[in-house]
């Protein structure tokens, strides 16, 4: 049976690698994006994967968008909550707006994405919820009080959903990427980035495809008994 997957923030960075990996594995895939029309159009042109625009931080937009996706490509069996942003600043400089924007996208966005899909998964007795957290949710990070709080919170969501979904054939798991070669990490000042890389025993940034393969495994039927877990893929930077 051909299953359907939705990847939020799926047209760029780690999300794009995940969408492509699932597509190559034979899933029907749709992605969401928040604002970069040009990148989304290029992604769809390259892959043939449909991209839908909405703000995951807004519940009504998410619910309406998900209803549209399900009407167009079928019920969503696998949801990858990947959309995430950074608004880094040392705590004494962090503004309430920087705090709120990150909470809205990275934490509330997971609720808004999974909640409208969940009842259908329960009815069909199958589901895969995969949340992209972060090594920085596990260990904290200088200048990321907001981001680390959301990524740690995402792990709480997954562990709770796992317990609620297990009897209904639904699994919920997290992947915690370390520092991956994406625009987000490349936006870190070069000197800081180099110092971070020097603390990664693997001696390099990860590749988006290395995260995508973790997600594809969690999405597969082989992973049915893995529920409430976290896969850390960080080049031995941190052990949770």
Tell me which residues touch ligand CAA (CB under 6 A): 86, 88-90, 93, 134-136, 141-144, 147, 179, 184-185, 188-189, 192
Strand partners, 172: 129
Are the C-beta atoms of residues 75 and 125 closer than 8 Å to each other? Answer: no
State in angstroms the smallest separation of the CB of 225 from ligand CAA: 28
Catalytic residue among 27, 33, 52, 147: 147
**What's the Rg (C-alpha) of the chain?**
17
**Nearest residue to 47 (alpha-carbon basis) of 10, 75, 84:** 10
State in angstroms the smallest separation of the CB of 15 from ligand CAA: 13
DSSP per-residue codes, 152-181: HHHHHHHHHHHHHHGGGTEEEEEEEE-SBS
State in angstroms the smallest separation of the CB of 165 from ligand CAA: 25
Q: Which contacts (CB < 8 Å, 24+ apart) does range 62-65 have?
A: 62/109, 62/112, 62/113, 62/116, 63/112, 63/115, 63/116, 65/32
Does 147 qualify as catalytic in the annotation? yes
3 state DSSP class of 76: coil
State in angstroms the smallest separation of the CB of 84 from ligand CAA: 7
Strand partners, 231: 175
State in angstroms the smallest separation of the CB of 191 from ligand CAA: 8
CA distance 53 to 76: 17
Q: Which residues are catalytic?
A: 147
């Amino acid at each position: 049976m051909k299953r359907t997957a939705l990847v939020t923030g799926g047209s760029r960075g780690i999300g794009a690698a995940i969408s492509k990996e699932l597509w190559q594995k034979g899933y029907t895939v749709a992605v969401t994006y928040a604002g970069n029309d040009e990148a989304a159009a290029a992604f769809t042109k390259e892959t043939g994967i449909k991209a839908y625009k909405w703000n995951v931080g807004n519940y009504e937009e998410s619910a309406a968008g998900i209803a549209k996706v399900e009407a167009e490509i079928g019920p969503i069996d696998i949801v990858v909550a990947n959309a995430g942003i950074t608004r880094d600043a040392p705590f004494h400089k962090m503004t309430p707006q920087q705090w709120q924007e990150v909470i809205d996208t990275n934490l509330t966005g997971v609720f808004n994405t999974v909640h409208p899909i969940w009842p259908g998964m329960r009815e069909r007795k199958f589901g895969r919820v995969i949340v992209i957290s972060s090594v920085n949710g596990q260990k904290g990070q200088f200048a990321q009080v907001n981001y680390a709080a959301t990524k740690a919170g995402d792990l709480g969501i997954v562990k709770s959903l796992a317990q609620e979904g297990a009897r209904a054939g639904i699994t919920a798991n997290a992947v915690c990427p370390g520092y991956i070669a994406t625009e987000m990490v490349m936006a870190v000042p070069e000197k800081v980035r180099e110092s971070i890389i020097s603390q990664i025993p693997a001696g390099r940034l990860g590749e988006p495809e290395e995260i995508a393969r973790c997600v594809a495994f969690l999405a597969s039927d082989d992973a049915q008994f893995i529920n409430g877990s976290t896969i850390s893929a960080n080049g031995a930077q941190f052990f949770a």
